[in-house]
Amino acid sequence: MKKKKKKKPFGKSVRTLFEVPNLEYKGRLSVLYSSQETFRLSSCPRDQRARESTPLPPPASSQAWLKTLRHRAAELQRRPSASFVLDLRVEHLRRHWLSSPSSSLSHLGNLRQKSLAVPSAQELEEDMHQKIAREMNLSETAFIRKLHPTDNFAQSSCFGLRWFTPASEVPLCGHATLASAAVLFYKIKNVNSTLTFVTLSGELRARQAEDGIVLDLPLYPVYSQTAIGNTLVQDICYSPDTRKLLLRLSDTYDRSFLENLKVNTENLLQVENTGKVKGLILTLKGEPGGQSQSFDFYSRYFAPWVGVAEDPVTGSAHAVLSSYWSQQLGKKEMHAFQCSQRGGELGISLRPDGRVDIRGGAAVVLEGTLTA
């Protein structure tokens, strides 16, 4: 009599490689989810059995799950840098990806400041978009949808795209558009070199380049405002199209001043409650040859009005910044750096047709499913 093969309790195994610089440890981080709702978190050297294994209670929510991963990733980073694999085995339903708009994953432990891209084969109920974004609690959650029943995520070149913060839908988000393009290009292996997204801000395009992904975004003009009093602000401009307020700090300040500047986002909500401002950009002229490399300008971006205290790297803000700094510097090609806690650099090219190409890198750092 043939022995019955013992059925494994795990569903399909999905692996994503994390590259974490400056550690000697080479291993694998695993989260195993069984049909009995048991979880196990373990790390081990590549191609060997687990050396460390920690049983985990079923998380109360996806936030609890992400928190556990952040803590474990932080532990690994404390070792003298690693390459390790997240082996997530899950059962059921809709796949989603967590993407970082950064070519370096040295801040792997800070998962909160990444974008979630959710390709959905079926139309979600309207309120589900906001519920999912609130539950994920990331800066932005992007929802990619097919425009026609015959469309295919691997073959089609045009998709619908919407962005939600934990608080509301937003009209433009470069950060999450980059993440969405990365999922389609790198994970789903879409055959097209250029993708078009139909959005609240019109048609946006993302094309593959040798050094990353280039986004084709609208270029938004800014209009000068008046600064009153003895402030460290050199210039104030407003973008009515995006409802973003741009504050240029005095040229007497440097990058470290901008990075260390404390901004009370709760006060921002009290000071501006008319609905005219949805985002605050702080920017500073770059330093030629400053620090490790030169940048034309630096920035930080705050959007508590839409539920994001500070955004790490913001494509929509650079659609405004590109217009401003191009006029100030007389340049069409610029190199920018956003000085958030998990900042990133952007390559900027203004085009004759009144649009801007913004280049950035993206890496998929987590892959899994959303259960119905």
Residues labelled as active-site residues: 140
- Give burial (CB, 10 Å; 0-12/13-18/19+) of 12: exposed
Q: What's the token pair of residue 355? A: 């649009």
End-to-end CA distance of the chain: 41
* DSSP-derived 3-state class of residue 133: helix
* CA proximity to 293, closest of 349, 341, 250, 336: 336
Return d(Cα 57, Cα 37) in angstroms, integer. Answer: 8
Return d(Cα 90, Cα 32) in angstroms, integer. Answer: 7
Return d(Cα 292, Cα 92) in angstroms, integer. Answer: 47
Which amino acid is residue 311, in one-letter code?
Answer: D
Which single residue is written with the structure tokens 């203004």? 350
Q: CB–CB of 261/254 below 8 Å?
A: no
Sign of CA dihedral 100, 317, 339, 163: negative
Sign of CA dihedral 74, 78, 83, 87: negative
Q: CB–CB of 223/246 below 8 Å?
A: no
* CA proximity to 289, closest of 340, 262, 254, 260: 254
What residue spans of 106-208 are helical by DSSP H? Answer: 126-136, 174-182
Which single residue is written with the structure tokens 């590549």? 46
Residues 6+ apart with CB under 8 A from 133: 140, 141, 164, 165, 166
Return d(Cα 105, Cα 182) in angstroms, integer. Answer: 15
Return d(Cα 29, Cα 145) in angstroms, integer. Answer: 31
Which amino acid is residue 278, in one-letter code?
Answer: K
Pairing type for strands 363-370 and 83-89 reads unpaired
